[in-house]
Structure 1
Amino acid sequence: MVKRRAKNIDDCALERIVGVLDGWAAKLSWDLFVDEIENRLGVRYTRQALDKHARIKMAYQSTKQRLSKAPGPEKQKKLSSQELGPIMERLERLAAENARLKVENEHILEQFVTWAYNAYLKGLTKEYLNTPLPLVDRELTKNALGKKYGAQE
């Protein structure tokens, strides 16, 4: 049997792959991650293909960091029902915040697409749009404002 190349990672696959990392609670390695993606998406990507995408790479590193800070099963204690109430409230609040941020992110992405299209119509290149902002000389600004309003140096 000939191995076929996996399909390219599109936005939908990218979202699902990052979602896998959001819910990851066990030991994390690239091999385990690749296997889990294959189980969920039915496509086997290589570590290199996944690592090439900045969003996946950042999510992977963030998950690794989160897991390294989490207490192990031997350090976890049993929570009483009194302690669970505030934790559940916080969880619900964070879930609501997460949903709100997703909506806000969608609006920002829509705005970006609009700007990109309008820039394309005006003939602006990606290089031009990615030109860094000029540095701000704060001392010059303070001196100019001081003289304008009669402040002494």
Structure 2
Amino acid sequence: MTKTRGKNLDDDAIALIVGMLDGWSGKLTWDLLIEAIQKRLRVRYTRQALDKRARIKIAYQVTKARISKISTSKYRRKLSAAELDAFIQRTNRLEAENVRLRAENERLLEQYVTWAYNAYLKGLTKEYLNTPLAGVDREITKFYLL
């Protein structure tokens, strides 16, 4: 029996996988993530395919660090009512900030599309647009008197 090649990772699948990692709790390994993806998306990706995508790789590393921090931190103990209230307030603030940042990101993506289209109309290439900025000369300016 031959294995069939899985569907390519598209932006929607990557967004779903990153969302899964954002809400992940408990032990995290590539194998556990692959199993969760297979259950949710009905597609089995390899660790290498997932690790090759920057958004997934960064989300995995951040989630791994978050889980490690939680498992070794003060959150493993019981929280008092005051601590729980403070934690809920912080969570609510972070959720509101997340909504705002998503809206800002969407606006920036729309602006990028506009810029890309206008650059295309002017005949500017991707290579030209990605040219690094010139270095700043921080030497002391010498003034010459005439």
Structure 2: how far apart are the matches of 1:114 and 1:4? 39
Deviations 1:85-109 (A, max 9, x none): 1111111000000111011111111
Q: Determine the structure 2 residue equivalent to 1:126.
A: 126
Give matches, 1:37-76, under 5 Å.
Answer: 37-72=37-72, 76=76
Give the aligned CA root-mean-square deviation in angstroms.
2.0
Gap runs ≥5 in structure 2: none
Counterpart of 1:82? 82
Residue-pair matches, total: 143
Question: Alpha carbons of 1:95 and 1:74: their partners in 2 closer, same or farther (altered >3 Å)?
Answer: closer
- Which protein, 1 or 2, shows the higher relative CO under an 8 Å CA cutoff with sep ≥ 6? 2
Partner of 1:138, secondary structure, is coil
2:97 corresponding residue in structure 1:
97
Q: TM-score, normalised by structure 1?
A: 0.84
TM-score, normalization by structure 2? 0.87
Alpha-carbon distance in 1 for matches of 2:118, 2:49 = 32
Share of identical aligned residues, percent? 62
1:17-54, Cα deviation, whole Å (9 max, x unpaired): 10011111211111111111111111111111111111
C-alpha separation in 2, matches of 1:90 and 1:53: 31
Deviation at 1:122, TM superposition (A): 1.8
Dislocated runs of 4+, deviation >6 Å:
none
